Structure 1
Amino acid sequence: MSASLTFVTPPPGLDPVVDFTLDEVAGAAGLYSLHSTSEPLTRLFVLDAGVHLPEYSPVISQEQGDSLGVTDPDQAMLLVVANPAPSGTTVNLMAPIVVNSATGASAQVILENQDFELRHALRPRGAAAAPATARATPATVAARVPVAV
């Protein structure tokens, strides 16, 4: 899978870059390379939260959803930035990337008043992991993002 994404505002630390390509990493389900179309050395690895963190269910504000044209949770794909390190890989649960899967409009949103970690440790599949806890959002299904109404 390959998709063109346009951020409504540059991701933090990547200003002025807004146009990216999201490419699936072969042999690694739910792992993607997000790279700038204008700055070849600008690349992030991101995980599909629905594949790797199915319990992760942040609440996206109405304003955040509106900025992407997301009116229904089924329109949204939720990605988290992966940070590999010698001690293990962590993901940023406080600032997910929300993608309108129909248009490619994207934003890295800052979650306020939600109890998520900046550096949530990933565990190998099958290993016991601490849940990514937050307020319950029963309408959330896998990588679907609840949009406040």
Structure 2
Amino acid sequence: MNIALTFTVAPFGLEPLSAFVLSPVADADGLFALVGSGTTGTGVEDPRLFLLDAAVHLPSYAPELSDAQAASIGLDSAADAMLLVVANAGASGGGSGSGSGSGMTVNLLAPVVVNARTGVGAQFILDGQDLPLRAELVRG
């Protein structure tokens, strides 16, 4: 099921877009494609980001939003928040050689948070939280 989303501020690198569609990727539990509607300032038409549902893939990930961040998307309750992280395929695709890595990294410092009740979202930089921009996603 596709979900229409409106971002209060364009996700990083997708400026000036604010309209997106979040679509589940077939046969990949908790993986979504976020597709923009329009052209970015750098000329990319209908850009796409891949996002992972943190509840599925990173159940212990619990970043804290500021009151201002939550208010900017009309989020009154944590239960209404859909927490997503930007996923990037690694250059080698094979991890560090230990067999446990997926070759994929996720951005834990700047999650995408969606108010599931309203479809309003934003990508937030989490101030004062020691989280990496590129954390290796390890298969469980």
**Structure 2: distance between partners of 1:43 and 1:14:** 9
Q: Could you tell me which residue of structure 2 aligns to residue 28 of structure 1?
A: 28
Q: Could you tell me which residue of structure 1 aligns to residue 78 of structure 2?
A: 73
What's the CA shift for 1:14?
Answer: 1.0
Residue 74 of structure 1: SS of its match in structure 2?
helix
Quick check: 1-10 or 35-44, which moved more?
35-44
Q: Which of 121, 124, 127 is residue 136 of structure 2 equivalent to?
A: 121
RMSD, matched Cα: 1.0
**Structure 2: distance between partners of 1:94 and 1:113:** 10
Q: Could you tell me which residue of structure 1 aligns to residue 110 of structure 2?
A: 95
Counterpart AA for 1:90: T
Q: Could you tell me which residue of structure 2 aligns to residue 144 of structure 1?
A: none
Extract unaligned runs of 5+ from structure 1: 127-149
What's the CA shift for 1:12?
Answer: 1.4
Q: Deviations over 1:35-71 (max 9, x none)?
A: 0122444000000000000010000010000010100
Q: Could you tell me which residue of structure 2 aligns to residue 138 of structure 1?
A: none
What's the CA shift for 1:2?
Answer: 1.1
What's the CA shift for 1:34?
Answer: 0.4
TM-score by length of 2: 0.86
Q: Could you tell me which residue of structure 1 aligns to residue 57 of structure 2?
A: 52
Displacement over 3 Å in runs of 4+: none
The answer to which structure has the higher strand fraction is 2
Q: Deviations over 1:52-99 (max 9, x none)?
A: 000100000100000101000011100000011233110000000000
**Structure 2: distance between partners of 1:37 and 1:14:** 10
Q: Could you tell me which residue of structure 1 aligns to residue 16 of structure 2?
A: 16
Extract unaligned runs of 5+ from structure 2: 40-44, 93-102
Q: Could you tell me which residue of structure 2 aligns to residue 105 of structure 1?
A: 120
The structure, 1 or 2, with the larger RCO (C-alpha pairs under 8 Å, 6+ apart) is 1
Counterpart AA for 1:78: L
